[in-house]
Amino acid sequence: MYEELTFAAGLLRLPIVEQADVTMTCSYPYTNWALRRRRSGGRPAHVFVTQNGDWPALKRGPEPRFFSCDGLICTNPLYYERNSARWHSTLIPNGVDPLRFLPGPARRAELGLPVDRQIILMVSALEPGKRVIEAMRAVAGVPDALLVVAGDGPLRDEVDRLAAERLPGRFLRTTFSHEQMPDLYRSADLFLHTKIQESFGNVYIEALSCGIPIVAHDDEVTRWILGDHAMLVDTTSEAALKNAIRNALTKPMVDAEAAAWAHARYSWKVVAGKYVDFFEDVLDRSGNSRAHPSADPIRQGAQA
């Protein structure tokens, strides 16, 4: 909160904000308030993205009472359904770089991973909402598979204790650089994510774009993100999750059809075009006269 407050204070003095056609943030409250402050030359149209949840747009609680925007980008259909009546909204997913995240050879040795056993991969912060602990209990019932958790967080000690008890010799918790992530996905036999109702899990489309099998929680959001290209299950049932993991590990390691589907739907070129279309719509509705005569330069920049 303090970091955002000092960042927002800088926005209040930044000339480019007043000169902009549209401002956008996924942060609330201070950044949203700073970008919406009326200035001497008027106020740019403001777009809010629900990447960190739609709780401000729902206006529940003391702080969200002061939320407002000229356009709301909903990152999943659940958010769109419950906010579109109140706010000028659109439904746009996050994107993925298809030149980085695509099927390819495994690089286990280079990543320090074993080459002679099946690898279940989780890419997740170690906090309660991600439900890594629950996933570990299910994986403990899958013989021989190695669980690799790429991430860190406040539950690290609890995670390590459970691994020593339930997954001795079959667990690795570590971190990888941004550049290593495509190779990490391609080196796994299965991607596992047990979060319930993510606002939008980028890890889903990164794994999908690399073509590896996926097991995730069955809810409205994951069904929309992953379509028919994942094994969705009630992950609150340890038995159901364990069976889904076992079944998914019998599938081919690479699904080129799933990767092609992800690239067609989630490539940044496609997603950026939807953003620009919405910016134009917001400007038309707001009557903001600062809009460029042509959106082509904006569109080309967004797609780049």
Summarised one tens digit per residue, pLDDT across range 2-33 is 899 999 999 988 888 988 999 999 999 999 99
Is 230 a domain residue? yes
- pLDDT over 50 (residue 291): no
pLDDT at 249: 95
Same domain, 119 and 257: yes
Same domain, 162 and 184: yes
Read off the pLDDT of residues 190-208 as tens digits, 9 standing for 90 and up. Answer: 999 999 988 999 999 999 9
Give kind and range of the element (H or E) at residue 265.
helix 256-266
Read off the pLDDT of residues 164-173 as tens digits, 9 standing for 90 and up. Answer: 999 999 999 9
**pTM exceeds 0.75:** yes
Is 100 a domain residue? no
Residue 84: closest CA among 123, 50, 119, 132: 50
Same domain, 137 and 283: no
Bridge partners (DSSP) listed for residue 150: 123, 174
Decide: 190 and 249 in contact? Cβ < 8 Å.
yes
* Phi and psi angles of residue 39, each rounded to the nearest 5 degrees, phi first: -115, 175
Is 52 a domain residue? yes
Same domain, 156 and 179: yes
Residue 145: closest CA among 118, 114, 181, 175: 118
Is 127 a domain residue? yes
* Structural domain harbouring 50: 2-95+267-303
Q: How far is CA 294 from the centre of its chain?
A: 31
What is the per-residue burial (b if ≥16 Cβ within 10 Å, else e) of 87-117?
Answer: bbbbbbbbbbebeebbbeebebeebebeeee
Residue 49 DSSP label = E
Same domain, 254 and 209: yes
Same domain, 202 and 81: no
